[in-house]
Amino acid sequence: MYEISYSKPAERYFKKIKDKQLLVAFKEAIDKLKSDSYIGTQKVGDLQGIYGYDVKYAGVNYELVFNCIS
């Protein structure tokens, strides 16, 4: 299992979310990433080394962006 740490802007964003179901969707996605961080898609070009994982909720596509640090 991997350790998750959040950037300050991400912490502020999650605190501002009012929709509880959206928070649950993010939590489920983060739990999946904790168990296997390579389920996201790797970015290319200038963003090489960065991964993204899509969270779809209520017809909107959110993307969690992260990097895997050993």
The whole-number pLDDT of residue 3 equals 80
In degrees, to the nearest 5, what angle opens at C-alpha 70 toward C-alphas 15 and 48? 75
Query: How crowded is the C-beta side of 10, counted as CA atoms within 13 Å?
Result: 12
Q: Where are the domains positioned within the chain?
A: 8-67
Please, which pLDDT band fits residue 57 given cuts at 50, 70 and 90? very high
pTM higher than 0.85 for the full model? no
Scanning the structure block, which residue is given the tokens 């779809």? 56
DSSP 55-66: EEETTEEEEEEE
The whole-number pLDDT of residue 4 equals 84
Mean pLDDT of 8-21: 94
The whole-number pLDDT of residue 70 equals 60
Q: Mean pLDDT in the chain?
A: 89
The whole-number pLDDT of residue 55 equals 94
